[in-house]
């Protein structure tokens, strides 16, 4: 589900932050939150989405690396593939935000709205 927002009032320099936010999800999400979060509510939402996506990537890495240590290394390859897909999806969300569309990341967007104070998670 995507919602279209008006990007005419946002400069090119400000819009690039939407992509930067998802490059290294946890770290650049925190950086974006610190640098631009108080000035732009929509960007603050995306910063929180990026932070939570980064946490999800770390959890997937930990869970699948446990399989590696118990001798099931082939399953840890699946975890690497899932992490790659999560990261690429994050970049896609950032690119769509750059173009003015806010995509919903299942479960993560609800938490991001709750912690950023943007919108309501109730339907």
| pLDDT tens digits, one per residue of 33-89 | 999 988 899 999 999 999 999 999 999 999 988 888 888 878 888 888 999 999 999
- Please give the model's pTM, rounded to 2 decimal places: 0.84
Task: Report which of 99, 106, 97, 85 is spatially closest to residue 42, judged by C-alpha positions.
Answer: 97
In degrees, to the nearest 5, what angle opens at C-alpha 47 toward C-alphas 13 and 77? 110
- pLDDT > 60? residue 6: no
Task: Report which of 47, 1, 41 is spatially closest to residue 21, judged by C-alpha positions.
Answer: 47
- pLDDT > 80? residue 2: no
Domain-by-domain residue ranges, the chain?
11-116
Percentage of the residues of the chain whose pLDDT score is greater than 70: 89
């Amino acid at each position: 589900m995507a919602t279209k927002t008006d990007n005419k009032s946002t400069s090119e320099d400000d819009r690039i932050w939407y992509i930067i936010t998802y490059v290294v999800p946890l770290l650049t999400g925190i950086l974006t939150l610190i640098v631009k979060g108080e000035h732009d509510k929509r960007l603050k939402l995306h910063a929180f989405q990026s932070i939570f996506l980064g946490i999800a990537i770390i959890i997937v890495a930990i869970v699948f690396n446990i399989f590696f240590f118990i001798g099931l290394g082939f399953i840890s390859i699946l975890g690497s593939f899932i992490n790659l897909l999560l990261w690429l999806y994050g970049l896609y969300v950032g690119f769509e935000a750059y173009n003015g569309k806010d995509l919903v990341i299942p479960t993560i967007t609800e938490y991001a709205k709750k912690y950023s104070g943007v919108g309501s998670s109730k339907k």
